[in-house]
Amino acid sequence: MAVIHNPDPSDSKQRGVTRLFYDARIRSIFIQAITLALVLGFLGWLTLNTMTNLAARNLSAGFDFLDVSAGFGIGFTLIPYQESDTYLRVFFVGIMNTLLVAAVSIVLATVFGLIVGLARLSNNWIIATLSRSYIELIRNTPLLLQIIAWFFGVFVLLPRPRQSVELGEAFFLNNRGFYMPAAVPEPGFGVVTATFLACIVGTIALAIWARRRRDRTGRHFPAFFTGFGAIIVLPLGVHLALGSPLGWELPELKGLNFTGGVSVPPSFCALIVALSAYTSCFIAEIVRSGIQSVSKGQLEAAGALNLPANWTLRRVVLPQALRVIIPPLISQYLNVTKNSSLAIAIGFPDLVSVWMNTSLNQSGRAIPIVAMTMAFYCLVSISVSLVMNYYNARAQIKER
């Protein structure tokens, strides 16, 4: 009540202001308003400058150039592309190439990383040390350096097509790239494909049924092996019964170069080798930490229950190790996709190279091109984080 009886008006006023200043809610609104104003002001200043600059250089920031013919060739494309095609098609060519590099590297890196990670845990000292030094050596040198070293130091120096390195008469490696046979489907191959797809669907259904039955009755049905066997055996049987309706087109040396078959340029090989080697180190460490995270007591408990060895692995160790392994593994996959953008250093036409470099220099539309590239990578990483959140929610330990 002292405030009310205070005869000095200035003091009470000051107290009001002070109270306002120390009121957490008002203060937070005040701070946020100032920050927002500063950031918006800064962005506005940037936009204003950009508009002035664009006007001064006679540039436009619209997306209308997407329909214009690009007019440059691309060395390696997955979807058909000609010089007269539009910029929009260039964008998609780049995306496809980026995704191809990412997919191939992810598969190779996972397989190799698993091997190295298990070797790191080996109780053989020499194997463990060997894989540890491999990991340290590769992890502590820059990826870009490795890509460039593989490209300039190995794949460009390979012999000419006439003296190609032959791998079993069907695969050729030379300084123009890597050549392998192409599959040519003949009539009747559709039936094989259909059988294959049907087997996959059937296996999934079988797995769901087996799990339900196990939950209901406690009886186990080996759905995994049955399904896996069916996926391999049935399509193969149909394939052979129809007289192998799949032809192989082998690459042949004609003149100075190979024709036929499928080929990838040296830059692709260098990128894949470097990217998979680099990523496999990180995956190896993830695998190691995942397996080490399963406590010894779990193994002993499984032994006490007299579980067979493969059940111990499949029902006790793997489910717990995978919970630790999968989240960082997925973020490594995302990293591979982002790192594939280093392709530009050795001239492989991925998204950054054909779109952010060539197309940007040709059309001069910096803003839409940068925005589209970033949008693509953001889209990839948002979808990956959605998958990850879904997995984390499912794999979380459910406490009772």
Partner 1 sequence: MSDAPLIFSPKPDRPAPADTVGLLGWIRQNLFKDVPNALMTLLGAYIIFVVTGAVVNWALIDAVWSAESRRECLDQVGRAGACWPGVAAWFKNLIYGLYPKDQVWRINLGFVLLVLWMLPLWMPKVTSKIGIGLSAVLLYPFLASYFFLGGEKALVWTALIALGLCGLIWVWSTALTETLVEKPLGSWVIGRLGVPEADERRQRQTKLICAALLFVAAFAFVSLWSLSEVRTRLWGGLFLTLVISGIGITFSLPAGILLALGRRSDLPVIAAMSTLFIELFRSVPLITILFMFNTMLPLFMPTGIEVNQLVRAIVAVCLFAAAYMAEVVRGGLQAIDKGQYEASSSLGMGYWQTTTLIVLPQALKIMIPAIVGNFIGLFKDTTLVSIIGLFDLMNMARAIGEDTRWLGLFIEPFFVVSLIYFVFCFAMSSYSMGLERKLATGRDRS
Footprint of partner 1 on this chain (CB under 8 A)?
28, 31-32, 35-36, 39, 46, 49-50, 52-54, 56, 122-127, 129-130, 136-137, 139-145, 148-149, 152-153, 338-339, 341-342, 344-345, 352, 356-357, 360, 366-367, 370, 373-374, 377-378, 380-382
Which residues are bridge partners to 185 per DSSP?
246
Q: CA 400, CA 397: separation in Å to the nearest integer?
A: 9
Q: Give the residue with the Cβ less far from partner 1, 258 or 268.
A: 268
Give CA angle at 210 (208, 215), nearest 5°: 95
Q: How far apart are CA 148 and CA 130, in angstroms?
A: 25
Quote the least distance from Cβ 257 to partner 1, whole Å.
22
> Which is nearer to partner 1, 125 or 225 (by Cβ)?
125
Q: Which is nearer to partner 1, 143 or 294 (CB)?
A: 143
Compare residues 14 and 47 and give the one whose CB is closer to partner 1. 47
Q: Side chain identity at 398, as an amino acid letter? A: K
> Residue 365 corresponds to which tokens in the numbers above?
């539309």
CA dist., res. 268 & res. 342, Å (int): 11
Alpha carbon distance 327, 110 (integer Å): 14
In terms of CB distance, is 86 or 357 closer to partner 1?
357
Distance of closest approach, residue 316 Cβ to partner 1, in angstroms? 23
Q: Least separation, in Å, of the C-beta of 318 and partner 1? A: 22
| Contacts with 27 (C-beta within 8 Å, 6 or more apart), sequence order | 21
Q: Could you tell me the smallest distance in angstroms from the CB atom of residue 351 to partner 1?
A: 9
Q: Which is nearer to partner 1, 54 or 100 (CB)?
A: 54
Strand partners, 253: 258
What distance in Å separates the CA atoms of residue 355 and residue 291, rounded to the nearest whole number? Answer: 42
Helices (H), the chain: 2-5, 9-22, 24-56, 87-120, 125-139, 143-150, 189-217, 223-241, 266-292, 296-304, 309-311, 318-339, 351, 360-363, 366-395
Least distance (Å) between residue 379 CB and partner 1: 9
Least distance in angstroms from the C-beta of 191 to partner 1? 43
CB 208 → partner 1: shortest distance, Å? 35
Nearer to partner 1, 96 or 144 (CB): 144
Residue pointed to by tokens 């000051």 = 14
Give the CA dihedral 144, 150, 155, 157, nearest 10 degrees: 110
